[in-house]
Amino acid sequence: MTAIVEFWNNLHPLLQGVIKGLAVIGVMFPIGGACSLVERKVSAAIQGRPGPNRAMPFWFAWVPVIGPFLQRLGVFHLMADGAKMFFKEDSLPGHVNKFYFLLAPVVAMIPALTTVTVVPFGAYFDEAGRMIPLVLANLDVGILAVFAIGSLGVYSLILAGWASNSKYPFLGGIRASAQLISYELSMTLAVVPVFLMINVPGGSGTLSLTDVVGFQSGTWQGLTMASLHGTWFIMTMPLAAIIFLVALFAETNRLPFDMAEGEADLVGGFHTEYGAMKWGLFFVAEYSHMLIGSGVFTLLFLGGWNPLPFVPLASVVGWLAHLSPLFQHPLAVGLLSIGIFLAKVLFFMFLFMWVRWTVPRFRYDQVMKLGWQKLLPLAIGNLIFYAVLIALLQPKL
Amino acid sequence: MPYVVERKPLTLLERVYIPQILAGLRVTLKHLFAPNVTMEYPEQRPPIPAGYRGVPTLVKDPNGREKCVSCQLCEFVCPPKAIRITPGEVPADQPDRAHVEKAPQAFDIDMLRCIYCGLCQEVCPEEAIFLQNQFSMTGYTRAEMVNDKARLYELGGTLPDQHFKWDKKKDAAEHGNAH
């Protein structure tokens, strides 16, 4: 064990970074794929049908109980889908702008996989009891980097829509760009109160997502200001959380804000002309966006890797340490925190699917109206309210 | 008397959306855990109601003889021209079919053309062709989708018959009053 740690520490930092990055991508890609399967299963269950349950490698049928069970679960459809995407004929329409047409899916993947670098997905404690986040790059600009890079995703939609040189994809791209830019505003404004809260005047300012979670990991101290550190921001700022969540749905192009690809009015929207793995990249990028978005929401409003309000990770580790000191090992704490964080993120992935089958798709003008006339004033009002409140309260914090 | 539905203005709670969406989420969550209503087709088959008009088939009389006399009325009436009949004589060396007038040499129904209209069944003077409850016709080639005579009789089987036409003809022939 120590030899491995030694070997790891002696690696070149660049190499370490590459390995860590590949590891994170290696987890995100399969989760994205698995989500596409879960999406089909959840859709089916809500609609009262069994969903994918046919595909099975022929030799797997020999395994007595597990084989049929996995077949009913539809897990092999994931492989079938993947194989199809890789081996199906990848046609390139003759009328497209080839360079940008091929570039668009790649551009879709870049922000999806880049934002993950600043999103912490767990933490452990060093000997001094300080919280060390598990994050690829613990930048102080945290949330700013997420918004800056995440909003680049709109380029892929515009590129795909424009380069397809066809009317429906073009309209899809236009709609998507307008929608994404509109909701970016309210999304960002909804987050500002959170950072007003965690940044004490006079101290060094931070936009790091880790510090947001750090602020939310406190215990119950009675009805005092100190207890604010144990609450989650969804309890103290519910309106901001709702605005952020709605904007997140719009940003990730999920129903009911499915303007970019509304198949009823736009065939397939911006990806009408795409097929095979090029289309698959858009698909994975959408799920990666959802994963990152849910992760950011969890970190900002749901206490990150803290299991419950007023029950931070440190307390849980303390209780577990009574059972066995092994639980205090950084590896165990890291795995526990990642587990808690992932559970919350996966709940949000489920919420995305759940809402998809509940709320019908908005009309385009309704989307714009909601974004500009409802959410944006709400977000501004919310910001002013909390700015005043924090200015009044913070001297006592 | 026209019935006018008055559109009530939405209440504040309805305009806020969130409670309504939560109520919707509750409904869909209930469906998530409700049992499936799907019939899983190849394993489970739907009950076919009596009088269902599926694939046209040829039937035999209670003695196991062909009823079709290859009059070609069905071929003539068939709107999409799906039926092809080659008329033929009944072989003389089959004593149990001695009074059968004629029989088709070949009888093909192209199921890629058939529109299940049932005119062939209506027009058949011998009640030899019936649209029965077979509803699942599939095949991998065009040739597979053409039902030949053997296949038509296999699908059709024997239907109970009230007329016993050939038996009456046989009786008439034996008792010397043919017509």
pLDDT of residue B81: 92
Instruction: Quote the CA–CA distance of A115 and A96 in Å, as a whole number.
Output: 30
Is residue A74 left, alpha or beta, with left meaning phi > 0 and alpha meaning psi from -120 to 50?
A: left
- 3-class secondary structure, B130: strand
Q: State mean pLDDT over A99-123.
A: 85
Interface of chain B toward chain A, CB-CB under 8 angstroms: 18, 21, 24-25, 27-29, 31-38, 40
Going by their DSSP bridges, the two strands B83-88 and B103-110 should be labelled as antiparallel
CA A279 to chain centroid: 20
**B25 contacts A48? CB cut-off 8 A:** no
Q: Is residue A170 part of a domain?
A: yes
**A49 contacts B38? CB cut-off 8 A:** yes
Residues contacting residue A61 through CB under 8 Å, at least 6 positions apart: A67, A68, A71
- As a whole-number percent, the residues of chain A with pLDDT over 90 amount to 4
Q: Is residue A189 part of a domain?
A: yes
CA atoms within 13 A on the CB side of B78: 22
What residues of B are in contact with residue A50 (Cβ under 8 Å)? 36, 38, 40
pLDDT of residue B110: 92
pLDDT at A323 over 90: no
In this complex, the residue of B18, B28, B36 whose CB is nearest that of residue A357 is B28
- Count of A-B CB contacts under 8 Å: 36
Q: State mean pLDDT over A51-63.
A: 80
Label residues A352-384 b or e (16+ Cβ within 10 Å = b). Answer: bbbbbbbbebbebeebbebbeebbbebbeebbe
**A45 contacts B40? CB cut-off 8 A:** no
Residue numbers belonging to the annotated binding site of B:
68, 71, 74, 78, 114, 117, 120, 124
Domains of chain B by residue range:
55-167
Confidence of residue A380 (pLDDT cuts 50, 70, 90): very high
Q: State mean pLDDT over A358-376.
A: 88
**B37 contacts A46? CB cut-off 8 A:** no
Cβ-based neighbour number of residue B150 at 10 Å: 11
Instruction: Quote the CA–CA distance of A229 and A309 in Å, as a whole number.
Output: 9
Label residues A116-141 b or e (16+ Cβ within 10 Å = b). Answer: bbbbbbbbbbeeeeebbbbbbebbee
Q: Which residues pair with A124 in a beta bridge?
A: A132
What residues of A are in contact with residue B36 (Cβ under 8 Å)? 45, 48-50
Q: Dihedral sign, CA of B76, B81, B86, B90? A: negative
pLDDT of residue B73: 92
pLDDT (tens digit per residue) in A183-226:
888 988 989 888 888 887 766 778 888 888 888 887 887 777 77
Using alpha carbons only, give the angle A297, A300, A305 rounded to the nearest 5 degrees.
90
Shortest distance between the Cα of B41 and any Cα of chain A, in A, equals: 12
How many structural domains compose chain A? 1
What residues of B are in contact with residue A355 (Cβ under 8 Å)? 21, 25
pLDDT at A381 over 90: yes
Q: Is residue A381 part of a domain?
A: yes
pLDDT of residue A396: 62
In this complex, the residue of B24, B35, B36 whose CB is nearest that of residue A358 is B24
**What residue in A sits closest to B42 (Cα-Cα)?**
A54
**B18 contacts A358? CB cut-off 8 A:** no
**What residue in B sits closest to A239 (Cα-Cα)?**
B18
ipTM of the modeled complex: 0.79
Domain carrying residue A129: 94-393
What residues of A are in contact with residue B16 (Cβ under 8 Å)? none
Interface of A with B in 228-267 (CB under 8 A): 242
CATH number of B55-167: 3.30.70.3270
Ranges in chain B, pLDDT < 50: none
Q: Is residue A366 part of a domain?
A: yes
Instruction: Quote the CA–CA distance of A88 and A81 in Å, as a whole number.
Output: 10
What residues of A are in contact with residue B38 (Cβ under 8 Å)? 48-50
- 3-class secondary structure, B108: strand
pLDDT of residue A384: 93
In this complex, the residue of B28, B33, B36 whose CB is nearest that of residue A49 is B36
In this complex, the residue of A48, A50, A354 whose CB is nearest that of residue B25 is A354
Going by their DSSP bridges, the two strands B103-110 and B146-147 should be labelled as antiparallel
**A48 contacts B28? CB cut-off 8 A:** no
Phi and psi angles of residue B163, each rounded to the nearest 5 degrees, phi first: -100, -40
Instruction: Quote the CA–CA distance of A313 and A123 in Å, as a whole number.
Output: 9
pLDDT at A98 over 60: yes
Range ranked top by mean pLDDT from A116-130, A245-259, A300-314, B102-116: B102-116
Q: Which residues pair with B85 in a beta bridge?
A: B107
Instruction: Quote the CA–CA distance of A173 and A44 in Å, as a whole number.
Output: 29
pLDDT at A5 over 80: no
Shortest distance between the Cα of A38 and any Cα of chain B, in A, equals: 13
